[in-house]
Copies of this chain bind each other. A is one copy, B any other.
């Protein structure tokens, strides 16, 4: 692209490290920032550099945190007897935003997936067992995704809990609220039918 000055071409290329951003979007982003929001671009550059360098993992729950201990783990008003295990920080945020859960979390930063080299070690099994063995935790809420790998991970987590004598619970599966039975997938419908509850 002879029309592209070097630094601009480099910027377009660098923007492609963002997920879902191809050549066209990267170009649009670069032009947008240069034409209309240099301040925002400069701020993004600063914050991004800072974040890439300083954000590590909480030593207790493995969530992203710029401090040794994340805000949730450091919050003494949260119930330390409840531990919700999730796959990713995004899942944690979803639960925080949707539910009134006031316990603690443990973030696996992945799911059991031997083909991708994700085993118990990579998911922080040692740290999790340590926390289960501390005697502080009464219930472990398993909130892995309802996928094949998530289910395998949930099974493994259940075993860890049983070994430590901790009660394990799982998110309920079934028909989503606001949906129509006609459009619910067969697997979900069969599961919801099989685990139907008595009306109170």
Contacts from A to B (Cβ < 8 Å)? 1-8, 10-11, 14-15, 17-20, 25, 27-35, 37-38, 40-55, 63-67, 70-72, 75, 88-90, 92-93, 96-97, 105, 109
Min Cβ gap A95→B in Å is: 8
| Nearest chain B residue, comparing its CB with the CB of A47 | B14
Write out the residue numbers on chain B whose beta carbons fall within 8 Å of the beta carbon of A105: 3
28 contacts between A and B (CB under 8 A): A1-B97, A2-B71, A3-B63, A3-B71, A4-B93, A5-B55, A5-B65, A5-B70, A7-B51, A7-B54, A8-B64, A8-B66, A11-B55, A14-B47, A15-B44, A17-B33, A18-B29, A19-B29, A20-B25, A27-B90, A33-B51, A33-B52, A34-B52, A34-B55, A35-B109, A41-B52, A42-B52, A45-B46
Q: A4-B71, A14-B44 are in contact. List 20 more A-B contacts (CB 8 A).
A: A2-B71, A2-B96, A3-B72, A7-B50, A10-B47, A11-B47, A11-B55, A17-B33, A17-B37, A17-B41, A17-B43, A18-B18, A18-B29, A18-B32, A18-B33, A34-B51, A34-B55, A38-B52, A42-B49, A42-B53
Q: Would B40 and A45 count as touching, CB distance under 8 A?
A: no
| Nearest chain B residue, comparing its CB with the CB of A89 | B31
